[in-house]
Amino acid sequence: MASVHSTWDQGKLIFYEGGIGHSTSGDILEIGGTGVVIGDSAHDVDFTVYGGAADQYFKIDWDAGTATFAKLDVGISGDLDITIEDLEIADDCSLAFGDSADVDISWSGSGNVLYILPATDDTGYISVGNGTKDIDLKVVLGAAADYVLFDVGNKLLTIAGAATLAVGADAAGTDANFYGATTAYKTWWDANGDTNGAWYFGANTKGIQVNFYGDTTGCGVFWDPTTDTNGTLSIGASGGSKGNDLIAYGATNGNYLHWDQSADDLLLVGTATQLSVAGTTASSSTTTGSLRTAGGLGVAGAAYIGGTLNLADDQAFTLGSTVATAETKITMEFDETTTGIGLFNMGSVSAPMVLNTNPGATVIGHTVNILHSAGAGDCADLIACYQKTAVSGTGDSDTTLVGTASRAYVGTAGGDTTVAKECYGAQPWASHFGTGAITAMSGLSAKVDVNTGNFTATTVNAGHFHVEGAATVTSSYFDGVMIEIYPDVTCLDAGLRIAVDSTAVVTDGIAIGGATSNGVNISGATQIGVNVSLAALTVGDAYSGVRSSVTCAAPSNAYGAAGYFESTYNGTGAGHFYNFGSWVNFGTSAVSGAYIVAAQDNGLYGTVTATNSSLIFGMRMEAIITGTPTILAPFSLNTDNKAITALFGIASAPAIGYVMGTPSTATVPCGTIPIFCDADGTDVRYVHIYDTTA
């Protein structure tokens, strides 16, 4: 403005711009009347009042619409109603409250911080509302949807949007307490607890309930300190379909503990997981030990037990299907209540296990395989399977003791058309490999020990074989006992050997009782059918190397009752052939004395009605052949060129059966008999015969 003029107008001192004049648009300051007026409604005038320095002033800038207190303290006593659109307090200047400036508010321009500070430390507080007149407090965090709201009416603190509540700062934690309605009951965060911080829910004897809810009603994790004396932690709730899965991970990827609520299963998942019970309490019943279960225990994989496995009396250890039928399970049990005997069952006597399908390989129901590779030492007996049954005390006359009862069946009922390749009730093997020496070896060894107490029995034997059934069997061999010797055997001493110790008393080496077509039938390519070799024959009249005693009732055409020998001669002979040979070999110390020694003794003995009979006590010889041999004779003698004393040696003269007297015609016999010839049949010698005697 160019100049300022003043005038007194109706009791008021008025300053105005000289170029405009005293008017609404030109007046600058009016003093008097109702007060002091600066400018007019049509004319704004800036106003500045300075303090003791150039930077201390109060300024009203109408163009900027501001009122500025620069480094000036402003004190207001009493009530003051002020309508201000904008109030600006400069950097590091404060707005004081209270008679003694008890609290001031200032803005630090260098730190960009708004300070609300009391004049005296830790004095007073800031209250938003007073309990009668309350107001919500909302702090917006960068966006309208992100804020913190203190909702006084609903007594609610809301942190909305992307806002985050931080209690303390990283590496500078702060404790936080959440109090219950009862004294000393609280939850708190201790920033220094357990060094790195800890949550505490309640305190000793001051438990509080903690609930973690899921998306489904009733599902969650619940801690109730008032139940079951010491409190209960519940995962899920009862009532069905309110369970929760629980997963606890291990240090190895893919290994964890999982409670699967939908399957009602507790799982240890992964190849490195292991349930280890560290307790050392010994187990002696179903209610003791480090681990016990009131229900069953299912193991899908292999199980290893390092100690003793005990099963309670009358309880079965079952392998296989859970279906309670003998056909589908294997059981082991101790029948304490009924028999007091342990039982091992694969099927039962009446209900077998059933082969589901042909596996294309050998099926073995029971295996015991033991290898001794420890070398020399003290292992007197190595027994793969030991079975024993015994009766003692007074015994039971209705009991049959069976150590092992092996059975093999083709078909299960008469009329079945079941086929199989082979069927063996028992098939023990003994094999020897290498050149190691052994004392004895047997595919089957059976022992009967009658000990020293005398007793009675119908039969006693080391081996008893039954052949039963009325079926007609079409077979190459249908035998009671068969010993088969394979073609690769080259040094077998005997197909069947009965060894009798020198001090044993045995009536018969082999005894065949009952009706048989052939008592002993030897067929096949053998050099000697029966070979009897005895070191020393017991002295006596009734003993022989081979003895045949046959009783015949009303015999008819018995061509060899006690012994019959027949051979078939085929092809061109290459040497002498004897169908029956009987020799006595003298040893170097043999002394025959005044006794008869004969290679063969034939005779008739006993009382017989012999009317019209032909009794031959020597031998009946027959030659029923075709062709004309060089020699045909009933006897052949070889005395090694020693002259014989006589054709017959007799006890006394009548024994030869000759007739006393002289021939009727001494010089004319009625015939001759060739008595012997030489080896080629050319030198024949005769004896005369006569028809009567004188």
Write the pLDDT tens digit of every residue in 318-333.
776 545 455 567 778 8
Which residues lie below 8 Å from residue 175, measured CB to CB, with a gap of 6+?
188, 189, 190, 191, 192
Mean pLDDT of 175-193: 90
Burial of 141 (0-12, 13-18, 19+ CB in 10 A): middle
In terms of C-beta distances under 8 Å and separation of at least 24 residues, what long-range contacts does 329-338 make, across chains too? 337/313
Confidence band of 665 (pLDDT split at 50, 70, 90): low
Distances, alpha carbon 646 to alpha carbons 67, 544, 593, 634, 639, in Å: 184, 29, 19, 17, 12
* Number of neighbouring beta carbons within 10 Å of residue 236: 20
Distances, alpha carbon 258 to alpha carbons 170, 211, 250, 276, 450, in Å: 34, 21, 11, 16, 66
* Number of neighbouring beta carbons within 10 Å of residue 306: 4
Amino acid at residue number 363: V
> Quick one: pLDDT at residue 327?
58
Considering 344-348, 503-507, 530-534, the range whose residues carry the highest mean pLDDT is: 503-507
Distance between CA 319 and CA 365 in Å, rounded? 13
Mean pLDDT of 270-296: 79
The distance in angstroms from the start CA to the end CA of the chain is 220
Q: The tokens of 195 are what?
A: 């060094």
Closest by CA to 690, choosing from 675, 671, 674, is 671
Q: The tokens of 113 are what?
A: 């911080």
Mean pLDDT of 67-78: 71
Which of residues 210 and 53 earns the better pLDDT score? Answer: 210
Q: Are strands 220-224 and 232-235 parallel, antiparallel or unpaired?
A: antiparallel
- Torsion on CA atoms 379, 383, 384, 389, rounded to nearest 10: -150
Which of 275-279, 467-471, 558-562 shows the lowest mean pLDDT across its residues?
275-279
Distance between CA 608 and CA 606 in Å, rounded? 6
Closest by CA to 562, choosing from 570, 572, 573, 551, is 551
Handedness of CA 25, 28, 32, 35 (dihedral sign): positive
Q: Say if residues 289 and 309 touch (Cβ distance below 8 Å).
A: no
**Coil, strand or helix at 524:** coil
Which residues lie below 8 Å from residue 71, measured CB to CB, with a gap of 6+?
51, 53, 55, 56, 90, 93
Distance between CA 349 and CA 344 in Å, rounded? 12
Distance between CA 177 and CA 199 in Å, rounded? 10
> Quick one: pLDDT at residue 92?
84
Distance between CA 104 and CA 114 in Å, rounded? 10
> Quick one: pLDDT at residue 517?
81
Q: Say if residues 236 and 246 touch (Cβ distance below 8 Å).
A: no
Sheet order of strands, 246-249 included: 246-249, 256-260, 265-269
Confidence band of 393 (pLDDT split at 50, 70, 90): very high
Distance between CA 221 and CA 211 in Å, rounded? 6
Distance between CA 46 and CA 28 in Å, rounded? 9
> Quick one: pLDDT at residue 490?
93
Mean pLDDT of 663-689: 77
Q: Say if residues 211 and 220 touch (Cβ distance below 8 Å).
A: yes
Confidence band of 623 (pLDDT split at 50, 70, 90): very high
Q: Is the pLDDT of residue 651 over 90?
A: no
Q: How far is CA 134 from the centre of its chain?
A: 76
The b-or-e profile of 524-556 (16+ CB within 10 A means b, else e) is eeeeeeeeeeeeeeeeeeeeeeeeeeeeeeeee
* Number of neighbouring beta carbons within 10 Å of residue 139: 11
Q: Say if residues 228 and 212 touch (Cβ distance below 8 Å).
A: no
DSSP label at residue 645: S
Q: Is the pLDDT of residue 383 over 60?
A: yes
> Quick one: pLDDT at residue 422?
92
Q: Is the pLDDT of residue 41 over 70?
A: no
Q: Say if residues 158 and 152 touch (Cβ distance below 8 Å).
A: no
The reported pTM is 0.49
Q: Say if residues 228 and 238 touch (Cβ distance below 8 Å).
A: no
Which of residues 508 and 423 earns the better pLDDT score? Answer: 423
Give the percent of the chain with pLDDT over 70.
Answer: 88
Owner of token pair 């003895």 = 547
Distance between CA 196 and CA 198 in Å, rounded? 7
Q: The tokens of 16 are what?
A: 């105005």
Distance between CA 298 and CA 263 in Å, rounded? 15
Distance between CA 579 and CA 530 in Å, rounded? 14
**Mean pLDDT of all residues in the chain?**
83
> Quick one: pLDDT at residue 664?
62
Strands (DSSP E) found in 307-375: 316-320, 329-335, 341-346
pLDDT tens profile 82-96 = 776 667 777 888 888
For 328, phi then psi, to 5°, come to -125, 15
Amino acid at residue number 624: I
Q: Say if residues 163 and 146 touch (Cβ distance below 8 Å).
A: yes
Q: The tokens of 624 are what?
A: 């029923």
Give the percent of the chain with pLDDT over 90.
Answer: 22
Q: The tokens of 320 are what?
A: 């296989």
Confidence band of 595 (pLDDT split at 50, 70, 90): confident
Owner of token pair 């007609």 = 472
Which residues lie below 8 Å from residue 677, measured CB to CB, with a gap of 6+?
631, 633, 683, 684, 685
pLDDT tens profile 364-381 = 888 889 899 988 888 889
